[in-house]
């Protein structure tokens, strides 16, 4: 017996393949850009204090306390903030709410490889703005991008290389396309680059900023992100939001982490310093390492495809993309200082062979 | 300045309005059909044992351990199970994967009022199979339903009344519509009714069963549900699933609750007994109370709209729907034995005034 037929766009979809999440705790895990330092002690306190009642009852459907805390810090209104199950969910909601079948959705390329999945799901057409280290630059690619886009995902700093986007280039891009929803994906903004939040505060009605708790707040396991934009855009996103999209633990953990800004700042500073040291040492080993504003480096060397499994043999997991233009590089998350020392020693051993 | 324009279907959408989630712990909360008993002690142990690493690292994107545990108990394969952020998410994924714009989606009416939101979002057409306590019955409504449906949400037991669906009627409905994805929403199945899992095991290729941890496992705050169907359907649903849709705490809590079946069985038996006692006493107060197979009762009385705020004055929150055909009733969740005694005393006081 055959069964029902899925939507043709879904039948044709290639599901996003997340980076490997191995259970082996001995592995030095530098493949999915988490923050490998522990979360703020306030997070563990908040989780321990949650209590049976908040586990058994429905959570706050609109994440009121968390949204108010975020809005206060960012000097926007709570009605300008919507919280999601990771920034992935708010990135997805933007496409669900603003992209009709057949419309065009743009993004720099290379970039975060999840966007094409949203485009396929929306039965829309993907428009790539190609850029590379040899030129055109990301900003030149933005300047040359087409006008008729329902939505554009701009990413700063932009993985896998980690280059930040010039804010004036983003402003020009948005001003020239008042009908395009310009999503500034800022998952890594704690580590560098300029936020487009300034454009939201300036009143640009087509800019939406997204953020994550996975990359700088050590909460990847809790799945929390958010978006900030005009109250009008946020009201539309709320229509497509799942009614109870964040569980009680995620809300409590994120609020505790958010309000311990001093802890996050200290950890981020440590990771940034380690990133710079790591880049210098990798360049010394013959890698080309573009200056990254994220918590990761993209390290290019001819033999990257061969090095990838050798690192694994050393119990070190980095990311290798089997994608044109990326095959000669390894994306290395900046872990703890100890983890980076282990990684660099392995790199030194492997590169001197 | 105006901004970008949302999809017309989204602009026209009315967001689902969840039942009130008040923070006041003194309220006797009988409005959203949670299980008001605490979760299994194993749940709290699992959460306490989670550790910093699982909070800081991405969770298992495919919920492997939880899916295997569910599959083992239900005697299906792990590839037949997909886990969601509440059963709401798997109900939504079914529409996202199988419903194209302009297609028709059916459901009994009245039923769970979230389905129409999915239909609107899919730019599809809602087809209601009307039934009522005075007839036609739910089964007669199914018999008279149209053939050309992309998807149908059948719900057993079906809120807000709680009547179960005859399994043979569901089987006939599915067999006659091999191209329709028939979703058996079984959020309340622990409390009564026959599961369509039997149809999945019989090999019907168009039946998908959904379940929730919110109603019988005391985990509404954790947001976990799942769907069981053919491996083919589940593979399609996985394509539209968010890549990391369940956080680490949700996965750990659900697995602990699922594996403490004896605890759940005992709590469910207690709630079922209380439901029957509550129905008898409400009938004694002049309410019409259809026999419910859920953890709630729908209690009809002419003065229900006036009683609703009076219960609130007694710090008791029940649910009143401002919907044709439902305005003369109150939906009362079955809470703990103590809560139900408080509710019934208030009802006795209010109804004798």
Query: What tens digit of pLDDT does each residue of B69-121 get?
Result: 999 999 999 999 999 999 999 999 999 999 999 999 999 999 999 999 999 99
Of B131, B102, B138, nearest in space to B119 by CA: B102
Q: What is the DSSP letter of B163?
A: B
- Class for the domain spanning A8-39+262-351: alpha beta
Cβ separation B21–A57 shorter than 8 A: yes
Torsion angle defined by CA atoms of residues B212, B216, B217 and B219, in that order, rounded to the nearest 10 degrees: 60
What tokens appear for B82 in the block? 């997909």
**A residues 285-314 lying closer than 8 A (beta carbon) to B:** none
A193-197, B14-18, B320-324: range with lowest mean pLDDT = B14-18
pLDDT, tens digit, 9 for 90 and up, residues A147-173: 999 999 999 999 999 999 999 999 999
**Residue B14 near residue B122, CB atoms below 8 Å:** no
- In chain A, where are the structural domains located? 8-39+262-351, 42-259
For residue B1, the model assigns a pLDDT of 58
User: What mean pLDDT do residues B304-331 have?
Assistant: 96
* Residue B18: other Cβ atoms inside 10 A: 15
Is the CB of residue B53 less than 8 Å away from at least one CB of chain A? yes
User: DSSP string spanning A308-344?
Assistant: HHHHHHTTEE-B---STTTTTEEEEE---HHHHHHHH
What tokens appear for B232 in the block? 């083919």
Nearest CB neighbour to B39, from listed A11, A56, A86: A56
For residue B322, the model assigns a pLDDT of 93
B262-279 b/e (C-beta count within 10 Å ≥ 16 → b): ebbeebbeebbebbeebb
A36-40, A310-314, B13-17, B90-94: range with lowest mean pLDDT = B13-17
Three-state SS for B275-296 is: HHHHHHHHHHCCCECCCCCCCE
Which band of pLDDT confidence, cut at 50, 70 and 90, is reported for residue A286? very high
**Residue A251 near residue B223, CB atoms below 8 Å:** no
Is the CB of residue B178 less than 8 Å away from at least one CB of chain A? yes
Is the CB of residue A234 less than 8 Å away from at least one CB of chain B? no
**Residue A83 near residue A265, CB atoms below 8 Å:** no
Percentage of chain A beyond pLDDT 90 is: 95
What tokens appear for A120 in the block? 């396929």
CA separation for the pair A68, A316 (Å, rounded): 40
Which band of pLDDT confidence, cut at 50, 70 and 90, is reported for residue A232? very high
User: What mean pLDDT do residues A81-102 have?
Assistant: 97
pLDDT, tens digit, 9 for 90 and up, residues B219-259: 999 999 999 999 999 999 999 999 999 999 999 999 999 99
In CATH terms, the fold of domain A42-259 is 3.40.640
Which band of pLDDT confidence, cut at 50, 70 and 90, is reported for residue B18? confident
CA separation for the pair B182, B153 (Å, rounded): 6
Is the CB of residue B246 less than 8 Å away from at least one CB of chain A? yes
What tokens appear for B263 in the block? 């605890």
CA separation for the pair A99, B281 (Å, rounded): 53
Q: How many CA atoms lie within 13 A of A235 on its CB side?
A: 12
Beta bridge partners of residue B125, listed in sequence order: B104
Alpha helices (H) along chain B: 8-11, 41-48, 51-56, 64-74, 87-98, 115-121, 138-143, 167-175, 197-201, 231-240, 248-259, 261-284, 304-313, 337-351
A215-239 b/e (C-beta count within 10 Å ≥ 16 → b): bbbbbbbbbbbbbbbbeebbbbbbb
Q: What is the DSSP letter of B38?
A: P
SS3 state at A274: helix
* Residue A190: other Cβ atoms inside 10 A: 24
**Residue B298 near residue B168, CB atoms below 8 Å:** no
**Residue B142 near residue B184, CB atoms below 8 Å:** no
User: What mean pLDDT do residues A131-143 have?
Assistant: 97
Which band of pLDDT confidence, cut at 50, 70 and 90, is reported for residue B23? confident
CA separation for the pair A178, A149 (Å, rounded): 10
* Residue B8: other Cβ atoms inside 10 A: 10
Name the phi and psi angles at B338, rounded to 5: -65, -45
Terminal Cα distance for chain B, rounded? 57
Of B235, B188, B175, nearest in space to B216 by CA: B188
Residues in chain A with CB shorter than 8 Å from the CB of B21 are 57-61
CA angle, corner B297, sides to B294 and B300, nearest 5?
150
- How many Cβ contacts (< 8 angstroms) between chains A and B? 263
For residue A26, the model assigns a pLDDT of 86
CA separation for the pair A162, A293 (Å, rounded): 5
**B residues 185-204 lying closer than 8 A (beta carbon) to A:** 203-204
Beta bridge partners of residue B84, listed in sequence order: B225
User: What mean pLDDT do residues B34-56 have?
Assistant: 96
Nearest CB neighbour to B61, from listed A8, A21, A222: A21
Instruction: Round the average pLDDT of chain A to a whole number and report it.
Output: 96
- pLDDT for A16 beyond 90: no
**Residue A30 near residue A316, CB atoms below 8 Å:** yes
Percentage of chain B beyond pLDDT 70 is: 100
For residue B74, the model assigns a pLDDT of 98
Give, in order, the Cα–Cα distances in Å from B144 to each of A266, B131, B139, B179, B234: 66, 11, 9, 17, 29
Q: Is B84 left (phi over 0), alpha (psi -120 to 50) or beta?
A: beta
Using CB atoms within 10 Å of the CB of residue A2, give its burial: 0 to 12 exposed, 13 to 18 middle, 19+ buried: exposed
What tokens appear for B85 in the block? 């952020």
CA separation for the pair B5, B111 (Å, rounded): 32
CA separation for the pair B224, B254 (Å, rounded): 7
* Closest chain B residue by Cα to residue A13: B239
Residues in chain B with CB shorter than 8 Å from the CB of A25 are 53
Which band of pLDDT confidence, cut at 50, 70 and 90, is reported for residue B137? very high
For residue B15, the model assigns a pLDDT of 72
Of B288, B291, B332, nearest in space to B311 by CA: B332
Which band of pLDDT confidence, cut at 50, 70 and 90, is reported for residue A11? very high
Nearest CB neighbour to B6, from listed A57, A97, A214: A97
| The two domains B8-39+262-351 and B42-259 share their CATH topology (first three levels equal) | no
For residue B315, the model assigns a pLDDT of 96
User: What mean pLDDT do residues B304-327 have?
Assistant: 96
What tokens appear for A100 in the block? 């009709």
CA separation for the pair A98, A182 (Å, rounded): 11
CA separation for the pair A137, A131 (Å, rounded): 6
pLDDT, tens digit, 9 for 90 and up, residues A326-347: 999 999 999 999 999 999 999 9
**Residue B193 near residue B293, CB atoms below 8 Å:** yes
For residue A24, the model assigns a pLDDT of 82
CA separation for the pair A110, A131 (Å, rounded): 7
- pLDDT for B353 beyond 80: no
Of B52, B58, B63, nearest in space to B85 by CA: B63
For residue A1, the model assigns a pLDDT of 58
Nearest CB neighbour to A239, from listed B1, B15, B249: B15
d(CA A37, nearest CA chain B) in Å: 8
For residue A121, the model assigns a pLDDT of 92
For residue B2, the model assigns a pLDDT of 77
């Amino acid at each position: 017996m055959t069964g029902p037929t899925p939507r043709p766009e879904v039948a044709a979809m290639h599901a996003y393949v997340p980076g490997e999440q191995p259970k082996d705790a001995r592995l030095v895990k530098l493949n999915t850009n988490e923050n490998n330092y522990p979360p703020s002690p306030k997070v563990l306190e908040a989780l321990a204090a949650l209590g049976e009642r908040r586990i058994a009852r429905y959570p706050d459907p609109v994440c009121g306390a968390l949204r108010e805390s975020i809005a206060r810090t960012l000097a926007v209104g709570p009605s300008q903030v919507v919280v999601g199950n990771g920034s992935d969910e708010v990135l997805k909601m933007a496409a669900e709410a603003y992209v009709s079948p057949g419309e065009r959705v743009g993004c720099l390329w290379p970039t975060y490889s999840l966007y094409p999945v949203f485009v396929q799901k929306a039965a829309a057409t993907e428009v790539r703005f190609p850029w590379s280290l040899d030129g055109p630059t990301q900003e030149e690619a933005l300047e040359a991008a087409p006008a008729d886009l329902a939505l554009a995902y701009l990413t700063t700093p932009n993985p896998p290389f980690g280059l930040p986007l010039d804010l004036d280039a983003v402003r020009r891009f948005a001003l020239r396309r008042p009908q395009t929803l310009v999503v500034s994906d800022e998952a890594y903004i704690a580590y560098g680059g300029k936020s487009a939040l300034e454009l939201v505060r300036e009143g640009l009605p087509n800019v939406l900023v997204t953020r994550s708790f996975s990359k700088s707040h050590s909460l990847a396991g809790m799945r929390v992100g958010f978006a900030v934009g005009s109250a009008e855009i946020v009201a539309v996103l709320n229509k497509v939001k799942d009614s109870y999209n964040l569980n009680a633990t995620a809300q409590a953990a994120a609020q505790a982490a958010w309000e311990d800004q001093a802890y996050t700042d200290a950890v981020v500073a440590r990771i940034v310093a380690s990133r710079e040291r790591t880049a210098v040492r990798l360049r010394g080993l013959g890698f080309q390492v573009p200056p990254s504003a994220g918590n990761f480096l993209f390290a290019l060397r001819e033999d990257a495809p061969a090095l990838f499994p050798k690192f694994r043999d050393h119990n070190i997991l980095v990311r290798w993309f089997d994608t044109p233009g990326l095959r000669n590089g390894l994306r290395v998350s900046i872990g703890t200082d100890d983890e980076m020392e282990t990684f660099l020693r392995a790199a030194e051993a492997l590169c001197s062979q």
